[in-house]
Amino acid sequence: MKNFLLVTNSVKDADSSYSERIKTSLEALGGKCCGNLFTRPDENGNYIYASPESVPEETEFIIVLGGDGTFIHVAKDLIDCNLPIIGVNLGTLGYLTEIDVNDLERDFFKILSGDCHIEKRMLLDGEIIRNGEVISRDIALNDIVLNRSQTMGIIDFEVHVNGTFLNRYSADGIIVSTPTGSTGYNLSAGGPIVYPTADIILATPICAHTLNSRSIAFSADAQIDIIVKGRFSERNQQKIVTFDGASEIILKNEDIIRSRMSEKSAKILRLSDLSFVEHLGKKMR
């Protein structure tokens, strides 16, 4: 792989110094830059990360400059391009953006010489169902989250798995996560870390008001339905669902959030000498 496309977080690289440095380093090693896309807000205030029609045909892999959030949204936006993607960390922890800006030349040499491999990561398909009709669809690389907005009241909801009732919860919300997302919000909420290439779906209640509420791991073929419930004490409580922290949708009582494994998968470029365990250990330290 020689031909690369840069996608740069315009906030974290406002003067383009990092993207120019990366372009220079890769071209010195024999790579070819097919272009540099910059994230930006549109006229409606929505943030645009990347679009498939902006990717040149000769592109063989994509380099994302930013943090894990930028990486996730670019990977989703360009999922239909079916190209491997790797991230340069300009953020904080960087579980997904494994290249450090201090190791650019070393890591890029490995990529251009083929000393790397591609990991396929599962995605979640999500649907919002209201009165028997699908009112919204989206995909998630990290997680689909039921949460509250503005108010502090707890949310009542039921969880059904493959059509069978599992439990009713009173909580701040619930996270349905992929293995990739296990190191994100799921981890902060007390959920387990899962090997990223595993075929597992995690369900983690957020601050549940019970003593026996724990994360549950389901097989990848599970269909998880979360049914939003109401209570008499609610006063103008707004309940929302988000896909990877974006695409916020306001919910009504009895709406169903349906999650299942997508037929699509993300292709993440990994350096061959850095295993997930080593990478995780480095971040934990």
pLDDT tens column, 150-199? 667 789 999 999 999 999 999 999 999 999 999 889 999 999 999 989 99
Q: Yes or no: say if 26 and 108 are a contact pair by the CB < 8 Å rule.
A: yes
Separation CA 153–CA 91 (nearest Å): 32
The pLDDT value given to residue 273 = 59
Active site amino acids: 68
The pLDDT value given to residue 246 = 84
The pLDDT value given to residue 230 = 80
φ/ψ (deg, to 5) at 170: -120, 115
The pLDDT value given to residue 281 = 73
Domains of the chain: 3-114 (3.40.50.10330), 123-263 (2.60.200.30)
Whether the per-residue pLDDT at 40 is higher than 90: the answer is: no
Q: For the chain, first and last CA: distance in Å?
A: 33
Separation CA 228–CA 239 (nearest Å): 9
Average pLDDT, the chain: 89
**Total residues belonging to the chain:** 285
Count CB-CB contacts under 10 A for residue 21. Answer: 16
> Which of 75-79, 133-137, 222-226, 232-236 bottoms out in mean pLDDT, i.e. has the lowest?
232-236
DSSP H helical ranges for the chain:
17-28, 68-77, 104-112, 185-188, 276-284
Q: Which residues contact 113 (CB under 8 A, 6 or more apart)?
A: none
pTM attached to this predicted model: 0.89
Q: Which residues contact 102 (CB under 8 A, 6 or more apart)?
A: none
State the pLDDT confidence band at 283, using cuts at 50, 70 and 90.
Answer: low
Q: Which two tokens stand for residue 119?
A: 């990991």
Q: Yes or no: say if 174 and 126 are a contact pair by the CB < 8 Å rule.
A: no
Separation CA 216–CA 225 (nearest Å): 14
The pLDDT value given to residue 153 = 76
